[in-house]
Amino acid sequence: MRFKFLRMWSLSMLAFSLSTFPPALFCLGISISASASDNLLTYSHSSFNEVVEVMQNEPYDPSNLPLIPIRVFKWAGNKLNFFVAQRSKEILIDKRDYRQVGVEKPIHPMGVGLTGKMVMLNSRWSGIFRGGIYSVVARASISQANPFKYKNDGSMQKRSTAMGIKVFSSVDNFTSGPTANAVFQNNLNGLLGEDGKPLNYLESAQTNEPGLSLSKIRNAYEVGTLFGVAFGSLTTKLDRMQQLPFINPQIRPVHSLAQFGEKNPSEIRVPIWVKISPVRQHQASDEKDFRLEIFRTLQMNGTIEYELFAADTKNSAQEIVWEKVGQLVFDRAILSKGVDQNLLFSHDALNSSMTEKKFTIPKAQKKD
């Protein structure tokens, strides 16, 4: 009875946070506001090679990968720190592409670095959606503390997969330039595989609006994590009141992709949704550790590919109408402390009345 009460109280507090806090981007981020000087969203100027070099810091032995715990709370001297909230706020107002000194991630602490190309088709949106070939780096991760597949515990067999992507503007890999960032996830509660068994990382599509059901949160860690990330965006009561009409805690806007390389703000066209969907591999690794699954699959096939889709309409059944806009082709996987602690992915903010430049997310249109 006591556990049920605590769980219901935790869920109530989480729901309260969603209705009162500024827009929160769960698990990988929170919202930030553009400053008065931001005409378009601009990020740190780095070259592809520069970031890859950072990703190669302190490589791991694939046969002995570290197990890194999730830290919702952390002691700082004699004080217990709400680590998730603190780190979420810090990392998501920081627009650098990487840290010089590595810092543990409180959530998603273990990942795989990927490098390759983004091949975009010419579509009706702006920025990278106008078409072209771009160098990219990515970090694949899961939200669970255990990188291995669960075998027996039904609820814990579900996996929540995520990927942060960084796109580079320069035509070569040596020249520094602004980057664009986006973050995707399959489902905040986690999913099972198509066969009802634990999910392989490379069989799940991810979007910038992952599903979430508060009633399906599985344990106190998830309550603490989601609450902490939302709490990290807390500023003042006035901010919360002014931003309330703009709240959508699940969506991670893709403004930076649609503004990439654009000079005229009036010509920017931003899709509401973007999805990355893995292309079936000729050979797929069934490693229990998702990091080795990705690493071995790329070794066997030479590449790992994802198709990219975008949308801003729904049909009469309220289903998103996807349009193919490109492809991701990764040709290298990196397992290292640099990937886990140094690599950063800046997040776009949802619009609010506090934002100087209101990069609006268009309202979805119905399509028969």
Digitized pLDDT (tens) for each residue of the chain, 368 residues in all = 444 444 444 444 444 343 333 333 333 333 323 332 333 444 568 999 999 999 999 999 999 999 877 766 565 666 655 555 566 666 556 678 888 876 777 677 899 999 999 999 999 999 999 999 999 999 999 877 677 765 555 556 778 889 999 999 877 899 999 999 998 988 877 777 777 777 889 989 999 988 776 655 555 445 545 554 444 444 444 444 544 444 455 677 888 899 999 999 889 999 989 999 999 877 888 898 999 999 999 999 999 999 999 999 999 988 999 999 999 999 999 999 999 989 988 766 554 333 334 445 555 555 55
Q: Determine the Cα–Cα distance for residues 301 and 293; give it in Å rounded to an integer.
A: 12
CB 147 within 8 A of CB 289: yes
Distance, CA of 1 to chain centre: 36
Bridge partners, residue 45, by sequence = 178
Interior angle at CA 31, CA 216 and CA 79, nearest 5: 80
> What amino acid is encoded at 265 in this protein?
P
Beta strands in the chain (DSSP E): 45-46, 74-76, 79-81, 111-120, 132-142, 161-168, 177-185, 206-207, 273-278, 304-311, 313-315, 323-334, 365-367
- Reference 25, options 188, 146, 223; nearest CA is 188
Q: Determine the Cα–Cα distance for residues 219 and 198; give it in Å rounded to an integer.
A: 18
Burial 301-337 (b: 16+ CB within 10 A, else e): beebbbbbbbbbbbeeeeebebbebbbbebeebbbbb
Task: State the distance between the two ends of the chain, measured CA to CA, in whole angstroms.
Answer: 49
> Structure tokens of 96?
């650098």
Q: Determine the Cα–Cα distance for residues 283 and 93; give it in Å rounded to an integer.
A: 40
Interior angle at CA 96, CA 244 and CA 19, nearest 5: 15
The DSSP letter of residue 211 is B
Q: Determine the Cα–Cα distance for residues 113 and 163; give it in Å rounded to an integer.
A: 10
Q: Where are the domains of the chain?
A: 2-355
Query: 239: which residues sit within 8 A by CB, 6+ positions away?
Result: 22, 352, 354
Query: 193: which residues sit within 8 A by CB, 6+ positions away?
Result: 199, 200, 203
Burial 80-94 (b: 16+ CB within 10 A, else e): eebbbbbbbbebbbe
Q: Determine the Cα–Cα distance for residues 163 and 142; give it in Å rounded to an integer.
A: 8
Residue tagged 């920025």 (tokens): 127
Percentages helix, strand, coil for the chain (3-state, rounded to 5) are 30, 25, 50
- Bridge-based pairing of strands 45-46 and 177-185 is antiparallel
pLDDT at 168: 95
